[in-house]
Amino acid sequence: MKRIGIVVAALALSGCAAGLDGFYQNVKFDSAPSGAQVDVAWLDKGRPVPLKVDGSCTTPCTLPIARDRTYLAIFTKPGCTTASARLYPTHSQWYFPLVSLLPDSVTGRTYDLKPVPARAALSCGTGA
């Protein structure tokens, strides 16, 4: 019984339960039509805050984004309307109640961002 307690304590302190996927998730962005500029910012009390690392790309593309925040992705393309998509952290498939006691829960590694891929439909042409 003492050995089981030691093993459980070691796993809890190591934070290895859900940390297999890392702090960042590679999020795919796509648009119709393709070639749109995507600018990603995390939302702080509803206000967009630019990412400290490169938070933009041209669709189709992929960006590494921290898993533990809500984000707003703005899609722009000359001659087209602007569109946006929100990404939300949800508990990953590895989440279970014990994980909330582990360091991974604090670091955000227990989350997956949804929806992935983040998509936007832009209206282009004379009506845009």
Report the side by side order of strands in the sheet with 118-121: 61-66, 24-32, 118-121
In a domain, 126, yes or no: no
In a domain, 41, yes or no: yes
In a domain, 127, yes or no: no
pTM, whole model, 2 decimals?
A: 0.71
Give residue-wise pLDDT tens across range 65-115: 988 889 999 999 999 999 999 999 887 655 555 545 455 444 445 778 899
In a domain, 128, yes or no: no
In a domain, 21, yes or no: yes
In a domain, 57, yes or no: yes
**Domain residue limits at 17:** 2-121
Q: At residue 36, does pLDDT exceed 90?
A: yes
In a domain, 69, yes or no: yes
Write down the H helix ranges in the chain. Answer: 2-14, 103-107
Which amino acid is located at 111 in the chain?
Y
Residue 67: give its domain's CATH number.
2.60.40
Which amino acid is located at 26 in the chain?
N
